[in-house]
Amino acid sequence: MSASRTSKSGIFDGRLNLEQQRKRAKELLKSARSQQADAQTRIAAHLPGKSIDDLQLADSQLVIARENGFASWPKLKSHIDRITEHQRQIASGHLPILDTPQTLHLRCGSDIRHGLELAGFAGAFMEFSDPFCQGPVPDVPLPDFIETRVRFIASSYRIDFPDALSRLQREYAGLATLGDYDHVVLWFEHDSYDQLILAFLLDFIATLRPQTRLDLICVDRVPGVERFIGLGQLSPELLIWCWDNARAPVSDDMLTFGQAVWPAIRASNPDALRAIIDNGQSPIPCMIAALDRHLRELPDPENGLGLTQKLTLQIIRDHGPITAGKIFGHLMRSYDPLPFLGDLMFWDVLVDMSRAKMPLFTYPEDPSQTPWPDRTLSLSETGNEVLSGTRNFMAFYTGERWVGGIRISGATGP
């Protein structure tokens, strides 16, 4: 297998309960009238100028609705009613007709495959999950490109080379079959893992030009989900919501944009990609922020760290000593402004950070006897100095990593 992401366990799946939301509204009203600061802050954020003395239940319900991403309480209630009906249909086996067997659902991972089946989608499923957000993406003929990617994936994610080669060849070959379907739907979220793959696919499709109906589902938020991380966290009912509310035809402008973005990702310097980001115009609203997050993996001139590296050290400083698995949890849930890594990908980040003349963190246990998520990391003095900006990591980093087509290499001397 590759480093494609599966379901993100422990993250809210979007199922809202109306009675629970009514209870929250009543509790908010009571807390606000009791002069509790947090409740008053929430009221002020959504109802500026509203006097607590005049606050009614309808007002607190409106606050709860807006906190869940809805413009009004009736819209929240309507959403819950629709989701509840979808849930009832799924449970009873009386599923709505959503697609046909001649539909192909294309996703950069396997995380929604089972959810689509449960929701009643009848189409085929295809995974294409080459993680372009890590490793080299050279401008070479496709067979050489695939071999380069396989070598990176096998080495970085500890996968047998033949297994990685077989899978990646199958995924790339599958793309040539898009024209065999009446309808192809691309399911993507807003992070750089997804958006870099989407840019590649749009460039590929623009060249291939399959005579088929093409739709895109690209979401950066879902009503009722306070911190939307990705499609894999959503319940089957919410996948139906995405189908009904977030699906749009793939336009010529999208294909043309992909043809501009993909070469910029592969370039050996960030200038072309920065120009696209600075322009700020995109037919795919999610992509600009993801490209910006991608470039934040470049070394910061002050400390030599990419953003993931910096946040990792901050988490160890704030919560350490701490296991690698818990660091990954904090990174995904709260620290990273646009999280994009799978667990094996994060482990590769930690391994790469260890390629240095002086350690940024230490392992008290014997690493060879402990699974990587259970290894406890402690911030070293050097790590503290790098985090504070008094040392630059690139001065003693000895590894090599890639941000798209940009090679980042460290010192190689003694």
Q: What percent of the chain is modeled with pLDDT above 70?
A: 95
Encoded tokens for 103: 């539909």
pLDDT-based confidence at residue 2 (cuts at 50, 70, 90): very low
Q: Could you give the percent of the chain with pLDDT greater than 90?
A: 66
pLDDT digits (tens, 9 = 90+) for 243-267: 988 999 999 999 999 999 999 999 9
Q: Which CA distances in Å does 94 have to 82, 86, 119, 411?
A: 15, 10, 10, 62
- CA dist., res. 69 & res. 7, Å (int): 23
What does the pLDDT read at residue 29? 85
More confident residue, 373 or 54: 373
pLDDT at 394 > cutoff 70: yes
User: What's the rounded mean pLDDT across residues 114-122?
Assistant: 92
Locate CATH 1.10.10 in the chain.
Answer: 307-409
Q: Please determine, for residue 95, whether its predicted confidence score (pLDDT) is greater than 80.
A: no
Q: Is the pLDDT of residue 295 over 90?
A: yes
pLDDT above 90 for 35: no
Residue 188 parent element (H or E): strand 183-189
95-261 CATH pick, 1.10.10.10, 2.120.10.90, 3.40.1360.10, 3.30.1360.230 = 3.40.1360.10
Check whether 201 has a pLDDT greater than 90.
Answer: yes
Q: Where does 307-409 sit in CATH, by number? A: 1.10.10
Does residue 9 have a pLDDT over 50? no
Specify whether the CB–CB gap between 192 and 207 falls below 8 A: no
Strands 247-249 and 213-219: antiparallel
Residue with tokens 């979220």: 189
Q: For residue 413, is pLDDT > 90?
A: no
pLDDT recorded at residue 23: 85
What is the mean predicted confidence (pLDDT) over 126-135?
Answer: 97
pLDDT (tens digit, 9 = 90+) per residue, 149-164? 999 999 999 999 999 9
Encode 308-347: b = buried (16+ Cβ within 10 Å), e = exposed. Answer: bbbbbbbbbbeebebbbebbbbbbbeebbebbbbbbbbbb
Per-residue pLDDT tens for 339-354?
Answer: 999 999 999 999 999 9
Count Cβ atoms below 10 Å from residue 244 Cβ, excluding itself. Answer: 12
Residue range(s) of every CATH 3.40.1360.10 domain in the chain: 95-261
